[in-house]
A and B are shown apart, each in its own frame.
Chain A
Amino acid sequence: MLSKDEVKKIASLARIELSESEVEKFQKDLSTVLDYVDELKKVDVSGVDEVFEVTGLVNVQRDDAAIVSDTHEGIFKNAPEMKDGFYKVKAIL
């Protein structure tokens, strides 16, 4: 079983704020999932390479040609807050 501190650490890495009751709920849920996958540890994987893609494609490239992608207006329309053509965010420092 994961500890509450571990759940809080994961949530902080994932940038999700959790209430105390959520910490408890996800402590249970995440532990259930981790127990479920535990059996994988029994599989003998010696000498097996991991797979990252399945269809065998290698380095698909396209021509280095410029195309017009004039969607900035539509993109900015979705921004919660803009100022002078820039995204507005809270102070970082």
Chain B
Amino acid sequence: MDFTYLSLTELRKLLDKKQISSVELTKYFLERIKKSDLNAFITISEEQALKQAAAADDYIASPGENPFLCGIPYAAKDLFCTAGVRTTAASKILDNYIPPYDATVIEKIKEQKGVLLGKTNLDQFAHGSSGETSAYGPTKNPWDKSRMPGGSSSGSAAAVAAGLIPWATATETGGSIRIPSSFTGVCGWKPTYGRVSRYGVIAMGSSLDSPGAMAYSVEDLARLAEIMAGADGKDSTTGQAMVPAYSKNLTVSLKGVRIGIAEEYFLEGMDERVKQTIQGAIGELEKLGAELVKVHLPISAKYGSLVYAIVAPSEISSNLARYDGIRYGHVTKNASDLMEVYTKSRAEGFGDEAKRRIMTGTYVLSAGYYDAYYKRAQKVRRMIVNEFTKVFSQVDVLTAPTAPSVAQKLGYAANDPLFGYITDQLNIPSSLAGLPAISVPSGFVPAHDDPSTNLPVGLQIIGPQWGEQKIFNVGYAYQQATDFHKKHPRVDSGK
């Protein structure tokens, strides 16, 4: 039987009815992962996975209801600390790091008896939008292996899209869930900042980092959100509000729902066919009963990426100061004194992109420049927050293209220090404001550089803070009326 591309609800039914065991399912997906040549995984945790699966099968065999994720295989972006399973952040500086503890998200999945099959590839320390800055080589896009899957959650997106795993965790700081979801045609959820605990997720920009998920449908995302979200004593920035039963509240009709369209999000110079595809998707939402409302986000659109280009590296330079070669991670063999332990270990361990961001942050935070750069950026960030607050007093959600283009060729991002800030410009402003968003597949267009290749386009739905239910409802209604999320790449075995 073919178990690829089944929804989590379908897998739950098969496991509950004992039509398949978790061990069988685990072996099935491990086989697919091993055969794949997408470079989507950095570490495969086969031994632990089979143990977890056997334990899940025991649990299922005992009387009583099973937790939703019990026995279902998943993969974690290699930015989530996993007890006893190597966690690299796709960097050489953490090449040998084995966390002694689980991230809160991983712990919650473990409580449900979900089965971790491995750790997925990403841009190094989640710095990037292409997947190319990984120290373990770029991930390939299953729709066209000569293309990038987008980043930084490149491996999670490629693995889900190629049917190597039914779902995966991901993280976003400014586009890292939405972009790869769009480029690979999967559904991705970037939570409200603080909705999901950051504890145990290797830090990038702590005022922005949002752990989330990728799967085949908005319904699956809503189920996952119920499990992943919630206050955490180990992350004092998590929201204290109860987590709603998102999946039970999903609605089919959009009658009475006000959807904002900001013309600034339909950029001058962006791929025309992407624009048309998104306009088509918005037309579909209107047919489902939604009222379309024109709104404006001029400051967010114009200055969002610039603010991010200061704020994110600032937080990165602070967060990555901890890699010193003393307590864990790579240590140089060529140091003659303590200072050289620091400078050489960091020189050898970090890739160019991490170095670039650390140094950018160090510069804009340094004496004499702080007011001109960081302080000013945080003021403009306030203006962006205010702009969104005003818009969400008029509408329930915003819709826009997720990305200005479809997947580019691998190598396209190389040596362009601005690639990410441009690619992520439709995601960054809402990240700066801490807003939740999803990207859902909404069509295919021919690649601009190769008309014979059709590539997925993502529709972005952005909500107000804690407005997960609103974005899930719009996405769910859209997926009841369309089947773009059920289209999958033809993946040959590769070897």
Q: Which residues of A contact B (CB under 8 A)?
A: 2, 6-7, 10-18, 22, 25-26, 29-30, 32-34, 36-37, 39-41, 43, 45, 48-55, 57, 60-62, 71, 73-75, 77-81, 87, 89-92
Is there contact, CB below 8 Å, between B380 and A26?
no
* Min CB–CB distance A63 → chain B (angstroms): 9
Is there contact, CB below 8 Å, between B309 and A16?
no
> Could you list 17 examples of A-B contacts with CB < 8 Å?
A10-B359, A10-B362, A12-B343, A13-B366, A15-B324, A15-B343, A16-B359, A36-B306, A48-B379, A48-B383, A51-B379, A52-B207, A57-B239, A62-B236, A74-B98, A77-B98, A87-B326
Q: How far is the CA of A43 from the CA of B258 in the complex (A)?
A: 31
- Across-interface contacts of B346 in A (CB, < 8 A): 14-17
Q: How far is the CA of A36 from the CA of B373 in the complex (A)?
A: 12
- Across-interface contacts of A29 in B (CB, < 8 A): 356, 417
Q: Please provide the chain B residues from 294 to 328 with a CB less than 8 Å away from any CB of chain A in the complex.
A: 299, 303, 306-307, 309-310, 313, 317, 321, 324-328
**A36-B421, A55-B465 known; A74 and B193 CB under 8 Å?**
no
Residue of B nearest to A14 (CB): B362
Partner of B359 from the list A26, A52, A53 (CB cut-off 8 Å) is A26
Is there contact, CB below 8 Å, between B100 and A77?
yes
Instruction: Confirm or deny: B381 has a beta carbon within 8 angstroms of a beta carbon on chain A.
Output: yes
Instruction: Confirm or deny: B276 has a beta carbon within 8 angstroms of a beta carbon on chain A.
Output: no
Is there contact, CB below 8 Å, between A54 and B207?
yes
- How many residues from B make CB contacts under 8 Å with A? 73
* Min CB–CB distance B99 → chain A (angstroms): 8
A-B contact count, CB below 8 Å? 175
* Min CB–CB distance A18 → chain B (angstroms): 7
**A51-B381, A55-B192 known; A62 and B233 CB under 8 Å?**
yes
**A33-B360, A48-B382, A55-B237 known; A16 and B329 CB under 8 Å?**
no
- Determine chain B's interface SS by DSSP, over half rule: helix
9 nearest CB pairs, A to B: A74-B100, A50-B378, A54-B434, A78-B328, A80-B331, A17-B343, A17-B347, A45-B379, A71-B100
* Min CB–CB distance A58 → chain B (angstroms): 10
- Across-interface contacts of A39 in B (CB, < 8 A): 303, 306
**A14-B362, A32-B417 known; A40 and B317 CB under 8 Å?**
no
* Min CB–CB distance A19 → chain B (angstroms): 8
* Min CB–CB distance A45 → chain B (angstroms): 4
Instruction: Confirm or deny: B482 has a beta carbon within 8 angstroms of a beta carbon on chain A.
Output: no
Residue of A nearest to B335 (CB): A90
**A15-B346, A30-B356, A40-B310 known; A90 and B338 CB under 8 Å?**
yes
Q: How far is the CA of A87 from the CA of B154 in the complex (A)?
A: 36
- Across-interface contacts of A75 in B (CB, < 8 A): 100, 327-328
Is there contact, CB below 8 Å, between A55 and B379?
no
Instruction: Confirm or deny: B189 has a beta carbon within 8 angstroms of a beta carbon on chain A.
Output: no
Is there contact, CB below 8 Å, between B359 and A30?
yes
Residue of B nearest to A31 (CB): B417
- Across-interface contacts of B101 in A (CB, < 8 A): 71, 74
